[in-house]
Amino acid sequence: MIAKELTIGELSERSGVPSSALRFYERQGLITSRRTAGNQRRYHRTTLRRVAFIRASQSVGMPLSVIGGVLGFLPEDTPPTREFWLRASACWSEEINARIEKMERMRDRFTECIGCGCLSFEQCVLVNPGDALAEHGPGPRRLIEP
């Protein structure tokens, strides 16, 4: 038989991701599907990998928008190359490391600040944080420009 396509139910069961979430991912452009004559979705088998990548990336804290950006480099109907995985991995690691460092700085400042009892609006970096909410980084440059 020719490579079997998956219905949304099958993809859902095999990935453990609810159909509603899969439809949501598709609306967001993270996955794509063919439609049958009756307007039902049929997924290429490689979509399983894409979904796995999405969930794994989410589990390390990546927002869907960024994941989508990276998946844009992955051709829809071919299995991802080993190189893709390696670059994605490097990219995520970098992001995670940046976040860890930021949290470490925060923790140290907090302890310091509390320790000296200075919690006031004029002096304290924590209370008037400049970079505290600067979450919108440049994203996966490494993957975009290999």
Binding site for DNA (CB under 7 A): 7-10, 12, 18-21, 23-25, 33, 36-41, 58, 63-65
**Does 86 help bind its own copies (rule: CB under 8 A)?**
yes
Separation of CA 62 from chain center: 3
Residue identified by tokens 């509390």 is 114
Of the pair 36, 81, the CB lying nearest its own copies is at 81
The listed partner (its own copies, DNA, none) that binds 4, CB under 5 to 8 Å by sort, is: none
Of the pair 29, 114, the CB lying nearest its own copies is at 114
Of the pair 72, 129, the CB lying nearest its own copies is at 129
CB 31 within 8 A of CB 22: yes
Q: What angle do CA 8, 54, 2 make, to 5 degrees?
A: 45
Classify the C-alpha dihedral 16-21-23-25 as positive or negative. negative
The nearest distance, CB 85 to its own copies, in angstroms, is 5
6: which strand partners?
A: 43
